[in-house]
Chain A
Amino acid sequence: MKLQHLSDQELVKRFIQGDQPSIEILINRHKNKVFTYIILIVKNQQLAEDIFQDTFIKVIRSLKDGKYRDNGKFVSWVIRIAHNLTIDHFRKEKQFSTFSNEDYEADIFNTRKLADGTIEDILVENQIVHEVKLLIEELPEDQKQVILLRHYGGLSFKEIAEQTGVSINTALGRMRYALINLRKLIEQKNLSLTKI
């Protein structure tokens, strides 16, 4: 059977047993999700790339050291590592809100292939996606973390509470306010979320 067809669980097992190509498949399978998670928080291309690499280096070392307890949620574990490294970075640098969006926007919104449609279509789509991305960015950091951990990490509210060091009730409250805020912002900006 081709490696691409194996589950995360099977690939992890094979890598731990010494099969190097398995980790490459795993990284390539989840790289876009992990990178998007990081860049939506740090809003800086170079920093996101650094944290992305550090995340997977830590993933590999932890797997080799036998620190991964397989519960069938490999990507959740990777997102948690990315989350912790991101938080560690901001703790060290204390630059939580000082990044420019310029690099990020230039890279994240110019990746659509011209073959996907006309230039006008792509520009319109990019503008909508840009507006949608701003919705997430405008949320307070604690609310943004909850929705990103839910979406990209697939974490339960209990897991988010543990990850962020708050009670389940607080995690739920943050999600609730995030959703209320997003709904308000969508209305204010008169955004249509029906179709790009």
Chain B
Amino acid sequence: MVNVSTLFYVLENLEGKKDELIDLEEILAMEQKVLKRIFEMIDQAGVEVDPSLVENVLQSTCNK
């Protein structure tokens, strides 16, 4: 007998246009394999925020 939550999961994960079943485990695995490294590289690139931006924020909200 199919568990109700499993049934809902399967129904919710049917791709509308092509009736293709979306495998959440597959997505999470690909996410770990592909995305993790891409964002590690981007984050390591060291985008640094101009400290004056933070100052502006703090000043414009001070005592308001």
Chain A residues close to B by CB (< 8 Å):
20, 23-24, 27-28, 31-33, 35-36, 39-40, 49, 52-53, 56-57, 60-61, 64, 108-109, 111-113, 126, 128-129, 132-133, 135-136, 147, 150-151, 167-170, 172-173, 175-176, 179, 182-183, 186, 193-194, 196
Contacts and interface: CB of A to CB of B under 8 A. Distances in A.
Interface in B1-58: 12-16, 22, 24, 26-27, 30-31, 34-35, 37-39, 41-50, 53-54, 56-58
Interface of A is mostly: helix
Nearest to B20: A173
A31 B48 CA distance: 8
Given A36-B42, A173-B22, A179-B35, A111 B47 contact: yes
Contacts of A33: 43
Interface of B: 12-16, 22, 24, 26-27, 30-31, 34-35, 37-39, 41-50, 53-54, 56-58, 60-62, 64
Contacts of B14: 169
Contacts of B60: 53, 57
A135 B38 contact: yes
B58 A24 contact: yes
A132 B54 CA distance: 28
A176 to B, nearest CB: 6
22 contacts: A27-B58, A31-B53, A32-B47, A35-B49, A52-B49, A52-B53, A53-B56, A56-B54, A57-B61, A111-B45, A111-B46, A113-B46, A132-B42, A133-B42, A168-B13, A169-B14, A179-B27, A179-B31, A183-B34, A193-B34, A193-B37, A193-B41
